Amino acid sequence: MKDYRELKAWQRSHALTLAIYEFTKRFPKEEMFGLTGQMRQAAASIPANIAEGCGRDGDAELKRFLNIALGSACELDYFIQLSTDLGHLDAPTARRLAADVMEVRRMLGAFIRKLKA
């Protein structure tokens, strides 16, 4: 069992989740149960799956949960694009968030490859 709080991928994804919560506070109220909720869920799913994988038995289980986290990161990336296209996020903010998502995706991919070796 690993302490997920020590993992850089968890730290970065947790910071990303906090940023998503902060920016979605500004979304229109009618999006609360739509896009806002979906973005928050996708973002929170990334560090949550890293944490759950660390609590499981063995690298195979950890790898499975890291893959789920990676899928959530891809989903979040789309929601950032959608939010921008709908006018809920300005372009500079969207670029920064998308870059943060890409960084988390790279970290997760590297971690997964390390576990496969």
Q: What is the pLDDT of residues 4-37, one digit of tens each?
A: 999 999 999 999 999 999 999 999 999 988 999 9
Residue 1 confidence (pLDDT): 61
For the chain, what is the domain count?
1
Q: Residue 40 sits in which domain range?
A: 4-116
CATH, residue 15: 1.20.1440.60
Distance CA 47, CA 27 (A): 23
DSSP string, 5-61: GG-HHHHHHHHHHHHHHHHHTTS-GGGTTTHHHHHHHHHHHHHHHHHHHHTSSSHHH
